[in-house]
Amino acid sequence: MRIAFANDHAAVAMRQPLLEELAALGHEVLDLGARDESRTDYPDFARAVGDALHRGQADRGIVVCGTGVGICIAANKLRGIRCALVTDEYAAVMSRRHNDANVLALRGREFDPDLNRKLLRRWLETPFDGDERHQRRIDKIARLEELNE
């Protein structure tokens, strides 16, 4: 799978463990993240991942900032992006199974890299179940995006 990956300065320490996990799983990674702790703005990285998905350069995206919250909010402002902030396995699985999340947001600070790797694996391996009620809800979310035009 082709994955667009981006992190801001607050998630530089989490960057390498996640990139190594993606490589170990055999994914092709488009690395758009910050390489050092020089201050950056997480909306720029959310946008870079969203643009990669819109241009067809990636199938899914992963975004990481200090808490995961800001970059998740920013990503969800982009058309067609369904970003889920995941901090446990249940959310990792259900964000894919029921919501067809195409971008995963993770915490870069105050969080265990091993747990983040596990959440990443669970999210990537879980398919959307395609149930009519879930697709109907996703379609309604897409229509909400049109209200902002």
3-state secondary structure of 14: helix
The DSSP string of 84-146 is EE--SHHHHHHHHHTT---EEEEE-SSS-HHHHHHHHHHHHHPPP---HHHHHHHHHHHHHHH
Q: In what order do the strands lie in the sheet with 83-85?
A: 28-31, 2-7, 60-65, 103-107, 83-85
User: How many helices (H) and strands (E) are present in the chain, helices listed first?
Assistant: 6, 5
Closest to 108 measured CA to CA, from 70, 60, 51? 70
Domains with residue ranges and CATH for the chain:
2-146 (3.40.1400.10)
pLDDT digits (tens, 9 = 90+) for 38-84: 999 999 999 999 999 999 999 999 999 999 999 999 999 999 999 99
In the set 27, 65, 72, 83, the catalytic residue is: 65
Annotation marks residue 83 as catalytic: no
DSSP 10: G
pTM for this structure? 0.96
pLDDT digits (tens, 9 = 90+) for 78-135: 999 999 999 999 999 999 999 999 999 999 999 999 999 999 999 999 999 999 999 9
Annotation marks residue 98 as catalytic: yes
